[in-house]
Amino acid sequence: MQHTHDDKHHAHAHDEHAHHELGFWAKYVFSTDHKVIGIQYAITALIFLFFGFSLMMLMRWQLAYPGQGIPFVGSLLHNLLGDAAPAKLNDAGQVVGYIMSADLYNAFGAMHGTIMVFLGIVPLAFAAFGNFVVPLQIGAPDMTFPRINMASYQCFVVGGVIMLVSFFIPGGAAAAGWTSYSPLATLGSSHGQTFWLIGMVFLITSSLLGAVNFIATIIQLRAPGMNWMRLPFFVWAQFVTAFLLLLAFPPLEAAAVMQLMDKVAHTSFFLPTGLVVSQQIANISGGGSPLLWQHLFWFLGHPEVYVLILPAMGIVCEVIANNTRKPIWGYKSLVYSTLAIGFLSFIVWAHHMYLTGMGTKISTFFQTTTMIISIPSVIILTCFFISLWGGSIRFNTPMLFCLSFLPMFGIGGLTGLPLGFNYSDLFLHDTYYVIAHFHYIVAPGTIFALFAGIYYWYPKATGRHMSEFWGKVHFWLSLLFMNLIFQPMFVQGMAGLNRRLYDGGATYAGVANPAGGVVVGVPQFFLDLNKMISHAAWALALAQIPFIINFFWSIKKGRKVDSDNPWQATTLEWQTPTPPPHGNFPVVPNVYRGPYEYSVPGHDTDFTPQNEPDRVAPKITQPLPK
Amino acid sequence: MEIPYTVKPRPDTGLYNAKVGIWLFLASEVMLFGALFSSYILLRVGAAAGTWPHGLLNVNLGTINTIVLITSSITVVMAWVSLKLNQWGKFKMYQAVTLLCALAFLGIKSAEYKDKFTHFQIIKKDGTYVDGHMHGAAYLDKDGKSLEVHKYHGLTFKENGSEYSLKEVTLNGIGAEELGQINEPKHGEHHEHKNISVPAAEIKKIENYGPWHSTYLAIYFTLTGLHALHVIGGALVIFVLWARGGKMWRTDPERYTNRIEISGLFWHFVDLVWIFLFPVLYLL
Amino acid sequence: MSEHDTHHDVSKHIRGYLIVFGALLVGTVLTVWASHFHFGREGSNVGNIVVALIIALTKAFLVAGYFMHLISEKKLIYSVLAFTGFFFAGLMFLTIWSMHPSSIIHFK
Amino acid sequence: MNQYFDLTRYLQLPVLASEHGRKVDALIIFVHWLMIALFIGWIIYFFYAIYRFRKSRNPKADYVGAKTHASTYIEVAVALVEGVLLLGMAIPLWAKSVDKFPSEKESTVLRVTAEQFTWNSRYPGADNKFGKQDFRSASSTNPLGYVADDPNGKDDIEPPAKEIHVPVNRPVIIYLTSKDVIHSFQLDNMRVTQDAIPGMRIPTQFTPNRVGHYRIQCAQLCGSGHSGMFGEFFVDTSEDYAKWQAEKLKSKGTSATVFE
Ligand code: HEA
Ligand code: HEA
Ligand code: CUA
Ligand SMILES: [Cu+2]
């Protein structure tokens, strides 16, 4: 803020100014520059992603080899977490390894979900890319409220730290699933859940501040001529996402406060009358309702899942338009579908609760809305598919990730349908089919789109390209292993294998049925798939090494960009110096056309930037800001 | 390079940035309190007969607090108007009143809270109730000598080790056969309060009217507590702008007036929430 | 609205503000006074709830409309609030509807 | 004809052992046909498109691209199919299973009380009346909180935990509740899942039509023992069931005869 209005007079010499007068801390840690904040978010979120993945890799060991000592890191876990990772003794009574206790498995599971969703994807897809790209794409000098922007990042870090600390407190981290259903979440004696709730309050606050900032920025700071139908689709996606966060998160905040009261002030918001704890009637006032928590949670929960996917779709749209060298097919229907999704996502939440004793009326309502909301998604994907037609497709790394996003999201989305019908959910609920459904969307879907975004905007942020070769290696291996991980889960789910099982389902291993040879429980074959999945998951981790190295190596050593617009793109972020100075645009850009004017007939290049003046005299739809 | 429209409104939207920001923020606040109000309704509808207390709160105090907040609202508006009319002195005066109102509100609220925390309910072993304010508790020391403890502190009655043990508790209130008599007093009729002493031996459970006592009190404390936090926050902002605004008012009066407008909008919202809280918690 | 306020028409508003203030005080007294009577059928307090809500909504309208200038606010803010109102209604109505005993599987 | 559309073999659903289960499978299968159709269709188009329009083969992109309305038709078609499945199957079938319960006389009625980490079943016994269950009277000696001096409860049958017997081809009505946290009563082979929620008693119904020994899974995370919270579900021939019930009644000793 200081150097946003004090020095309007010499705004020109501004970036040197910034260089000389801002120390390291002011420039990289407590910066109010949306680009720096975006990068801070990106790095932090990527690290959290990797951490969440690591938790899952440990869980996958337990699922594949139940009760066997954890290799490599077993003793480390034991030293860090104590009896949560108890020693495994052989007959002679000497320690042969350290295993994962059920509580630790549950804690890791809950934290994997929480971290991936709230500390990984949302900060990366929404906050990081949104911060870095949106102001550039709409031709703004920064966010509307730079200091609130910084505060939002700091809240995020605090929330993240609280979550991390909770692993090391007595009793360990929250272990009631990322959904934290009461009474389980409330009755547990450990403070992990309390930490989780406090952490969530910070994360929610962070998201709310971010959302306000994004919406205000997109409404107020669009460059002259950048009217709504000229916004790049990515901006639209971020706009709707911001609204989802703004209006869906507060009810969860309220719920978190109430569950916090239940835990620390011994209220009974979510605890019914007549709860029995250790064979005694619990000493609480009772009168609460466990279902209330579920409603408030899923009122956020479902919009949240679109928060996870919409920014990804935005990225995919940018990259596809750029690499097919043609306008996106059906830009308007994309925009309207996105608005429709945003709107509908507030009234479908109870499809997560079909089996809580829901009567006909309610379930009819919710499964109908659920089916309706699947249509706009179909439309969006269809637009992307048809946009390929007639293009001149370049298969660089970002494009590869985006192309594979389409079928991957397709699979994930389509498998949402049998879950959406209450009568088939009756069987599929809580099986690995659900796990596979949403992982296809968030992992090879969203994460791939985010990878694409990183490869695509990296040159703008650093002035250097990431290595194409290693990028392609990263892509093909990730694609292979992602599918090896999640495809078998559909099979397991269909066979009736449940999620959140500490022993990977060994308890339900099929046994020959005395009466009539029928096999009851889950046939061994489907349990053995666990091993295969786990190996694929670990291989997926190895497949990330090229990316990580590439990511850091290219900062200094990567191939320099040949121009400010290496991809020959049309949108405004490429019409700035590279990397963009503080304040982004030397002169306020003027926008004359839609976002994806590629291969315009009669134009000398195959791309026409949004701010390139028309042959005819430009008509300025708005006066320049003073 | 400066961020546009921080002071002057953007032509096509007709709004300056902060105005958009605050309204978006208030929208999220609506959802926050909305969720809590929904929870209130659900808990109340789901409450078993006789368990939802009526007339538990002091309506007079509630009414006074309502009037206090409304007053603060009008002074906030007048403060903004005075700035518009370029009357710095009046502005200072009005905002001062606002801040005093905020303090008064919080003072009264904490008095109400204290009243609840010193209000006890005893469930006796025979299943009957004694309900009233703590008058005193008597303890026995380790050689059986009884000593009066007129002032009561602490929320629960732990037999504090070998030192003292509880002898009896004296409440100033009423005795009742079942909960209904306490929670739903018939209109008009008034039990007169008297001191009732209950020997420790007869006490099955003793509990004060904290949030843990019933879902009604749980939602009462949560809603009013959250609202009080908003009052504190709003008051702080208003105070800071009030105490150290002079410089900006001289250098950039329009920006300053906008900030007053924004803080005012927030303050009105806090008032607005209370307008619903009052009837819902005190009267119905 | 702030931008094109000349001193003159702001001072014109003052009277309006004071009237609203008075109305709010009256409303407060009214709602307390009303709570001493019983409206509607015996044994149900629906009547009183309705009365109290009507008064509260009126007061809310006055505060939002005049103190917060909503009656003369920009379209954009109306639309934001419209959506918020809709989703709030959805949250409250759908939750209450789903948790109403008659919406939960029963037998007999 | 039908068997061509029958994906059961490929989907590898668990052995089916209840009447309504057929319809659950049918819905699952129809939906998967829709999914497969969309997937195959799009994936073929997809690969063709990226092959046909790769840069080396199509160096100059076409500004307009596709001029087709096919997409609209596809979208409408998807919407229609979903509508049909919704109105034709999902909604009416759900209504049937949660609104139209068989009368208690024609069915085997039992209560299941879930707790960390086991399933406790209880049969009404000869008088077809359950004893009063009130968790306030729960104690280490009376873990399920059945009121001791309730005459209806005297002849109730309580098999050992985790064990449930029902006769084949007779509707079963189970009243589910939980003592502590939320559990979920899931019988894959019956295509039945219903949460057991503390403070609520929710009925669920199905008609087993295949004698056998099946597994109850807990389908809701309920703590450290969740993965081990299974139950044995026996569908007996009516003779075996009668035998089992008789000896259970006898093992109740006098209490069963008190009220004759
Ligand atoms: C980004 C995340 C995301 C997205 C986008 C979705 C999208 C959808 N989800 Fe998903 N869902 C989750 C994340 C997501 N979900 C999560 C995390 C859970 C589990 C939570 C938990 O319990 O822990 C879950 C659980 C879940 C359930 C509860 C299951 C249960 O617990 O019993 C249901 C039920 O209705 C459901 C339905 C749907 C539907 C109908 C869609 C629809 O919106 C999908 C619409 C999309 C399509 C219909 C695809 C269209 C594509 C084409 C037509 C082209 C096809 C072309 C090719 C394949 C080449 N989801
Ligand atoms: C956005 C959400 C998200 C994402 C991305 C993932 C990603 C993955 N998930 Fe997760 N998962 C959930 C959300 C998510 N999950 C949720 C909500 C649950 C339910 C929890 C519950 O039951 O309560 C769940 C549960 C869940 C289970 C079920 C556990 C159980 O029920 O017992 C499993 C099992 O295999 C699993 C596996 C995986 C795997 C292998 C990945 C992989 O795809 C991971 C891929 C990750 C990467 C590829 C890392 C990329 C990052 C880097 C490479 C870092 C680079 C760093 C720098 C450059 C600095 N997940
Ligand atoms: Cu019981 Cu899981
Ligand atoms: Cu959902």
Report whether pLDDT(D70) > 90.
no
Query: What ligand is nearest to the CA atom of residue A426?
Result: 1
A63 lines ligand 1 (CB under 6 A): no
| CB of D245 closer than 8 Å to CB of D123 | yes
Q: How many CB atoms lie within 10 A of CB A615?
A: 7
User: Would you give the end-to-end CA distance of chain A in angstroms?
Assistant: 17
Q: What would the mean pLDDT of B229-255 be, rounded to a whole number? A: 95
| CB of B83 closer than 8 Å to CB of B250 | no
A424 three-state secondary structure: helix
Of C35, C48, C91, the CB nearest to B34: C91
Residues of D in contact with C105 (CB under 8 A): 98, 202-204
Q: What is the pLDDT of residues C63-87, one digit of tens each?
A: 999 999 999 899 999 999 999 999 9
Beta bridge partner(s), residue B74: none
Task: Give me the total of CB pairs closer than 8 Å, taking one residue from chain C and one from chain D.
Answer: 11
**What's the CA-to-centroid distance between A438 and ligand 3, angstroms?**
22
**CA distance, residue B269 to nearest chain C CA (Å):** 8
Q: DSSP of A296-349, one letter per residue? A: HHHHHHHHHHHHHHHHHHHHHHHHHHHHHTSPPTTHHHHHHHHHHHHHHGGG-G
Q: Output the pLDDT for position A513.
A: 52
Q: What would the mean pLDDT of B231-243 be, rounded to a whole number? A: 97
Query: What ligand is nearest to the CA atom of residue A499?
Result: 2
Q: What is the pLDDT of residues D123-139, one digit of tens each?
A: 988 888 898 888 888 88
Question: Using CB atoms and an 8 Å cut-off, which of residues 10-69 of chain A contact chain B?
Answer: 11, 14
Residues of A in contact with C76 (CB under 8 A): 219
Q: What would the mean pLDDT of B182-186 be, rounded to a whole number? A: 77
| Nearest residue on chain D to C101, alpha-carbon basis | D200
Closest by Cα among A56, A60, A119, A66 to A88:
A66
Q: Is pLDDT larger for residue D236 or for residue B152?
A: D236
Closest by Cα among D46, D37, D40 to A381:
D46
Report whether pLDDT(B237) > 80.
yes
Contact D60 A273 (CB under 8 A): no
| CB of B73 closer than 8 Å to CB of B268 | yes
| CB of A264 closer than 8 Å to CB of D123 | no
Q: Measure the CA–CA gap between D88 and D84, rounded to whole angstroms.
A: 5
Report whether pLDDT(B157) > 70.
no
DSSP code for A391: -
Report whether pLDDT(B152) > 50.
no
Count Cα atoms within 13 angstroms, Cβ side, for A351: 31
Q: DSSP of A8-48, one letter per residue? A: STT-TTHHHHHHHH--HIIIIIS---HHHHHHHHHHHHHHH
Query: What ligand is nearest to the CA atom of residue D218?
Result: 3
Point out the residues of chain A with pLDDT beneath 50.
1-19, 617-618, 624, 626
Closest by Cα among B39, D195, C76 to A299:
B39
Amino acid making up residue A560: K
| Nearest residue on chain D to A512, alpha-carbon basis | D213
Closest by Cα among A362, A352, A236 to A294:
A352
B10 three-state secondary structure: strand
Q: Output the pLDDT for position A19.
A: 47
Quote the pTM value: 0.94
Residues framing ligand 3 (Cβ under 6 A): D 117, 183, 218, 220-222, 226, 229
Report whether pLDDT(B63) > 80.
yes
Q: What is the pLDDT of residues A517-560, one digit of tens each?
A: 555 778 888 999 999 999 999 999 999 999 999 999 999 999 99
Q: Output the pLDDT for position D4.
A: 61
Q: What would the mean pLDDT of D62-82 be, rounded to a whole number? A: 90
Q: Output the pLDDT for position A12.
A: 42
Q: Output the pLDDT for position A11.
A: 40
Q: Output the pLDDT for position D28.
A: 95
Report whether pLDDT(D178) > 80.
yes
Count Cα atoms within 13 angstroms, Cβ side, for A297: 22
Q: Output the pLDDT for position A7.
A: 39
Closest by Cα among A511, A562, A506, A554 to A531:
A506
Amino acid making up residue B62: G
Contact A600 D63 (CB under 8 A): yes
- Whether A597 and chain B come into contact, CB under 8 Å, resolves to no
Contact C107 D203 (CB under 8 A): yes
Closest by Cα among D157, D135, D131, D158 to D145:
D135
A121 lines ligand 2 (CB under 6 A): yes
Structure-block tokens of residue A269 = 């918001």
Task: Give me the total of CB pairs closer than 8 Å, taking one residue from chain A and one from chain B.
Answer: 149
Contact C106 D203 (CB under 8 A): yes
Count Cα atoms within 13 angstroms, Cβ side, for A415: 25
Query: What does the buried/exposed string (b/e) look like for B190-221 if buried means 16 or more CB atoms within 10 Å of the residue's CB?
Result: eeeeeebebebeebeebbbbbbbbbbbbbbbb
Atom of ligand 1 nearest to the CA of A421: 35
Q: Measure the CA–CA gap between C8 and C5, rounded to whole angstroms.
A: 8
Question: Above pLDDT 70, what percent of chain B?
Answer: 90
A175 lines ligand 2 (CB under 6 A): no
Q: Output the pLDDT for position D154.
A: 82
Closest by Cα among D50, D187, C55 to A430:
D187
For atom 1 of ligand 3, the residue with the nearest CA is D183
For ligand 4, a single-atom ion, the residues with CB < 5 A are: A 302
A434 lines ligand 2 (CB under 6 A): no
B134 Cβ partners below 8 Å, 6+ apart? B118, B119, B120, B152, B169, B170, B171, B172, B208
- The CA distances from residue D109 to A180, D64, D130, D165, D176, in Å, are 33, 67, 10, 11, 11
A439 lines ligand 2 (CB under 6 A): yes
Please give the helix or strand (H or E) that residue A50 lies within, else none: helix A34-64
Atom of ligand 1 nearest to the CA of A374: 45
Q: Measure the CA–CA gap between A385 and D195, rounded to whole angstroms.
A: 41
Contact D63 A395 (CB under 8 A): no
Where are any strands of DSSP class E within A43-159?
87-89, 95-98
Report whether pLDDT(B253) > 90.
yes
**What's the CA-to-centroid distance between A440 and ligand 1, angstroms?**
9
Report whether pLDDT(D255) > 50.
no
Q: Output the pLDDT for position A6.
A: 39
Contact C28 B70 (CB under 8 A): yes
Report whether pLDDT(B142) > 80.
no
